[in-house]
Structure 1
Amino acid sequence: MEKVLLIITAAAGLCAVSSLPAHQYHLVYEQMNMTEAQSYCRENYTDLATIDNMEDVNLLNSMADLSKMIYPTYSYLAWIGLYDDVNSWRWSLSDRSFYTQEEAEFRNWASGEPNNEYGSAYCTLLVSNGQWSDVPCDVLRTAVCMDVRGSNVTFVFINNLMTWTEAQSYCRANHTDLASVRNMEENQKIMELLPSGQSVWIGLFRDSWKWSDGSNSSFRYWITGEPNGGTENCVAANFHKSGKWEDQHCGQRRAFICYSPPVSKKVVRVRLMKKSSSLDLNDPAVMEDILRELKQKLKDKGVDGDVKLSWRKQSDGKVFHKEKETEKKTT
């Protein structure tokens, strides 16, 4: 919930709290790699920046001071929280009882694989020699489904050209799922099903781009041709190109953008009427009681979260002043 800071000068009525942007951004010009920048943001703010829309982009463009981004080369780049989760490989069939720990992690990658060619290789082909390759999920290939009946597993070759997602849907509708390959014996069984030279979809896939804070924002603002790097798994905003994004090697040192919850500061002037003439509104204990009551009133009106109330003293050191009779008549 957003933080709200109210400073009250004299109180009895409450004003509404205005709506706030989702994030308060902090552009840090000290050069760090992605991991260091993430740690810094989490220690000092909330996390590396999540960017939700063009309003956020425009705000960041207005904040960026290019004169502070003069070193090193490509110095107008700043890390944001988007990264490619290259270690999130898992099987389409998610039932944990189907795998031992070793079986769930069995891989038979070809040399140099997975290499995330073109920056979008999120699905897996078993090629004709039995080794695996990561490829974009939208290429058309045949597939291998599996039927699971208790401890019995049967593999079925499907001679239809499909994307990985289409193959997954087909296998789930007509069999159990796309094939999970738990060991070399099952890998060999699948190879024996394949016509010569065929490569087939299996059920191994991974997540694509994620935000550091785990949010699900789908907004993207790539430079044309990006993302394009097989090992460029982190994202920087390029303020020399209107804040558009490009993928970068995570170990490079860049400025970076953190975010924290927004803070709204409001000064509210209202009027109190004393029921007892002997009550001293400037008594610290009385003022503290009033603050507690005001905070409860805010909560009753739906304003919760980290609400902070304080008094603003006037030049004479007092908070409350008795209203003059002429002021009462004109208000």
Structure 2
Amino acid sequence: MRLAFFLTLTLTATLAAPNTNLFLEDTTQDDYIISGVTANYIQAYLICKKNGFIMAMERTEEETEIIKEKITELQVEDYDHYLGGFNEVTDSVKQWFWIDSNQSITYDHWSDTGEKKLDCLLKTSLNSDDAGKWTSNNCAEEKYFICQKPPLAQTYYNKT
């Protein structure tokens, strides 16, 4: 399933993502970069990649707070944002993982009311009832998104 998803990304790369920088701020300064445009999940993934980033991973409370501060600083609290989480069926069980690192999502920032049935991880609006918690979303729906600079290789990839 994961292989099929990445093949789809590769095949749509030339059609899906524009060749321009579409972020709200200078991308050389911060680890997390907020989009200024909406895109579906695949387009968001490709825009991040084309600009030298990965889809944002929110793996700790500290990262949650950094992303929250960034969203507040840029005054985009009213919008939902895609993160780099993706839902995959493995042995008939759905499992969430970070798309750019292939690591299972172990940190829990899920909304109490949010569903996990769809395939793409969405950080809800900070001004919503869920106040920045996670929910799942239809990957084809266009949303704002968050990219980040890739972490160091030794902490980024699973060692096998």
Q: TM-score range by the shorter chain?
A: 0.5 to 0.7
> CA 1:220/1:257 → structure 2, altered by over 3 Å: closer, same or farther?
same
Runs of 4+ in 1 over 6 A off after TM superposition: none
Task: Give distance in 1, aligned partners of 2:80 and 2:123.
Answer: 5
> CA 1:233/1:216 → structure 2, altered by over 3 Å: closer, same or farther?
closer
Give the 3-state SS of the residue equivalent to 1:42 in structure 2. Answer: helix
Could you say which residue in structure 1 is the equivalent of 2:99?
212
**For the Cα contact (< 8 Å) 1:29–1:68, is it kept in 2?**
no
**For the Cα contact (< 8 Å) 2:96–2:105, is it kept in 1?**
no
> CA 1:215/1:24 → structure 2, altered by over 3 Å: closer, same or farther?
farther
**For the Cα contact (< 8 Å) 2:31–2:148, is it kept in 1?**
yes
Task: Give distance in 2, aligned partners of 1:28 and 1:55.
Answer: 21
Task: Give distance in 1, aligned partners of 2:33 and 2:103.
Answer: 18
**For the Cα contact (< 8 Å) 1:31–1:255, is it kept in 2?**
yes
Unaligned runs of 5+ in 2: 1-29, 153-160
Task: Give distance in 1, aligned partners of 2:48 and 2:70.
Answer: 17
Letter in 2 for 1:64: I
Q: Using CA pairs below 8 Å that are at least 6 residues apart, which structure has the higher relative contact order?
A: 1
Unaligned runs of 5+ in 1: 1-22, 70-74, 91-204, 264-331
Deviation for aligned residue 1:262:
6.5
**Structure with the bigger percentage of strand:** 1
Could you say which residue in structure 2 is the equivalent of 1:323?
none
Of residues 139, 152, 159, the one that matches 1:250 is 139
Which protein shows a greater Rg?
A: 1
Deviation for aligned residue 1:29:
2.4
Of residues 236, 247, 261, the one that matches 2:122 is 236
Q: Deviations over 1:161-207 (max 9, x none)?
A: xxxxxxxxxxxxxxxxxxxxxxxxxxxxxxxxxxxxxxxxxxxx245
Aligned residues between the structures: 118
Could you say which residue in structure 1 is the equivalent of 2:149?
260
Letter in 1 for 2:51: N
RMSD of the TM alignment (CA)? 2.5
Q: How does 1:173-212 map to 2 (within 5 A)?
A: 205-212=92-99
Of residues 102, 105, 113, the one that matches 1:225 is 113
Normalised to the residue count of structure 2, the TM-score between the two structures is 0.64
Deviation for aligned residue 1:26:
0.9
Could you say which residue in structure 1 is the equivalent of 2:80?
77
Q: Deviations over 1:59-102 (max 9, x none)?
A: 11111147446xxxxx520000111114x5x5xxxxxxxxxxxx
**For the Cα contact (< 8 Å) 2:35–2:145, is it kept in 1?**
yes
Q: How does 1:137-148 map to 2 (within 5 A)?
A: none
